[in-house]
Structure 1
């Protein structure tokens, strides 16, 4: 609610230097935040680079207050400003209110309804081509293979084609942009660092990616058959109302957002799915039966449970435009509130035995409490690609599990490790596969 008194205290939190808090949050937040919650409660104040006061929220009712609040008070775009150097100021992730609604309206048709149904054959075709190249009886990093596959899929969705020298160069560069650690993020917001070492190399990669995207946009603008194409870029170039047509800079920002955010979550969720199935014989057998029966609800539940147990993104962010009060604490305008996906999804109050991989949580009317599963965020800013991601995961699981049985390379589960703003399997979700049928 909007604060009406100055008497409420500010949220508590650690007092260590901002650099220490930033590194701890960037590299170990999945370990640090539960400790801070036990010490400070459900509302925790942190200071993070660059010059940002943030408040982590672990209570589901508080999270619902944020997701259900006014978009004029809770600015998601401003909350994601750490991504601005990479995604661009026009990105659907970084804009608010009317500007955001315009971008979302233009992008949404590519990820809903008939468009989703039209992607099934394409996803299946690319998945079959990928898994038929997998080595058998030899451990490999399933996360790497899923990143390759989901990147191919989103390239097809965004550009309509996946061949040509420009896209061949773009693929490895996009992967390099994603191979960014917490310390690399300092270079995003400090031009002086971009003249040195890894920060310089990252900046040069990003510049080359931009050059390739602008070249693709220019070439596509000259195409004479845009009306017959269904890919995202062609759709955006054929918007019927002149006032809504996007500039090259706006197009670039939406394309890079889709390319980077449009495959990473799904790839990581699939890798964790293989990791967990390989270590759980009962769930593995149930998954094989579901794949054989083309039981898409069960296969989707596997992906959902992987996203619950191993959140790819640990929190969502909303920057406040006015003071609010949550949980008895005053949070001033200019602060960023962060509903914690990690703490809510691993809370036994909402998910009994929360550290156990159990897809049945999402089957037979056993869905968790509303709002307690939020890998795609919530409210009006919920990820517009959520349906696409789950469809993609379901198809990939079916194609893999009808062909192979999974075994882990080691019985011990892999730890999480940070990569830029995401958390991924520490050893790449290594598994072995063996053919089910001759």
Structure 2
């Protein structure tokens, strides 16, 4: 197959593989895993909008950052661009059946089953629950004492997604699951190597991580077994109950399929929002004028501005720096031939940091997303095409409500004048010191 997109900025003809560094695979893997936020802009300046890397385990990846190139990938046939195979690094954790790791008909089936829980009436029905849990969270904050807002947002968004997935958040089993899920998330790129290297799993920290992951599975399977016996299953609206009561014999899920979808929702369903909120607090605390406007929006229940604040946080600090599509056949893209088996990486980070798309890209300006916002295709935190994150609407609703709850009660200030650097955690980019802030109760008199 041929997918044609305009040549790269270099103007090279479509005759060869993309250029890239010739460092050993282990070196490229470590640089990509630990310092991709610095590495990828450097390689773009060196090689142009299309370049390749060799990344463990055993794959060649090609980064692209021109909008027409990315559009060609997102709009291309799902039979050629396999997002599930592109996310193969997550397979040991998410499982064979995860909506993130399947392709074509299998993916469409999973997406169809999960979609109702994150759209329409279901989405509107989460508003009161999110507000209640956010209010309970901020009531525990101590004014005047610096704290890591990223930790608190992780706890909050995990509580919210537990309620969405299971319908409840009480009980010893879920208490244990909270702590163990936090351990799963809090791993570094070196830990991820153990997912694909069984020999490493005989040693810590990989052995400890594997033991924790297996216990998470035991807890989820126990919750599934108990829910199957629930007498009020048909009346419940949580994701697990919905999946257990879908009509049609072909849509009945095995326990293994349920486990894979649930762990995917639990992990992916809170990490992005928690990190986006932490970065938003980090930026608001350091930008008094923007904080004043956002506070006024919170008081006036102006959700458009608060949502724009969340969107700008996701633009300036993309939690996921790229998405992945593994090719099932050769394509031509950006002036190069890219063979089957290669993983193409549309770069969220490079597009959203490009001044051609977002003037003064290093500045935190929520106004970018008002009155129509930036051009389509220049804001990609939830991916694009048929694989756009099905929880995007839920994440933005959640972030908007949390911002309103926090800013209507507190004034934010930084614990240090220096901005925090980003660092890699698992496959995400997070605030280097946890987005530490101080809060002061507002006087509404």
- The TM-score with structure 1 as length reference comes to 0.98
Question: Offset of 1:180 from its aligned partner?
Answer: 1.0
1:351 aligns with 2:358: yes
Answer whether contact 2:83 2:325 (CA < 8 A) is retained.
yes
**Structure 1 counterpart of 2:228, from 213, 216, 221:** 221
Distance 1:397 1:73 in 2: 40
Answer whether contact 2:3 2:76 (CA < 8 A) is retained.
no
Answer whether contact 1:78 1:94 (CA < 8 A) is retained.
yes
Distance 1:370 1:352 in 2: 15
The number of residue pairs the alignment matches comes to 436
**Structure 2 counterpart of 1:202, from 196, 205, 209:** 209
What is the match of residue 423 of structure 2?
417
Answer whether contact 1:408 1:430 (CA < 8 A) is retained.
yes
Distance 1:383 1:225 in 2: 30
**Partner SS state of residue 192, structure 1:** helix
Question: Offset of 1:191 from its aligned partner?
Answer: 1.0
Distance 2:438 2:186 in 1: 24
What is the match of residue 61 of structure 2?
54
Map 1:397-416; keep pairs closer than 5 Å. 397-416=403-422
Query: For each residue in 1:201-236, what CA deviation from the matched residue of structure 2 results, as whole angstroms up to 9, or x when unmatched?
Result: 000000000000000001101111111000000000
Answer whether contact 2:194 2:200 (CA < 8 A) is retained.
yes
Query: For each residue in 1:84-130, what CA deviation from the matched residue of structure 2 results, as whole angstroms up to 9, or x when unmatched?
Result: 00000100000000000000000000000000000000000000000
What is the match of residue 315 of structure 2?
308
Distance 1:125 1:349 in 2: 41
Answer whether contact 1:3 1:330 (CA < 8 A) is retained.
no
Distance 1:193 1:409 in 2: 39
**Partner SS state of residue 411, structure 1:** coil
Question: Offset of 1:58 from its aligned partner?
Answer: 1.3
Question: Offset of 1:7 from its aligned partner?
Answer: 6.5
Query: Unmatched 5+ residue regions in structure 1?
Result: none
Distance 2:244 2:382 in 1: 27
1:87 aligns with 2:91: no
Answer whether contact 2:273 2:399 (CA < 8 A) is retained.
yes
Query: Unmatched 5+ residue regions in structure 2?
Result: 5-12
- The TM-score with structure 2 as length reference comes to 0.97
Map 1:252-331; keep pairs closer than 5 Å. 252-331=259-338
What is the match of residue 154 of structure 2?
147
Answer whether contact 2:14 2:336 (CA < 8 A) is retained.
no
What is the match of residue 2 of structure 1?
2
**Structure 2 counterpart of 1:381, from 368, 387, 396:** 387
1:428 aligns with 2:430: no
**Partner SS state of residue 350, structure 1:** coil
**Partner SS state of residue 197, structure 1:** coil
Distance 1:195 1:424 in 2: 29
What is the match of residue 8 of structure 2?
none
What is the match of residue 167 of structure 1?
174
Distance 1:10 1:425 in 2: 35
Answer whether contact 1:147 1:263 (CA < 8 A) is retained.
yes
**Structure 2 counterpart of 1:63, from 50, 53, 70:** 70
Question: Offset of 1:437 from its aligned partner?
Answer: 2.5
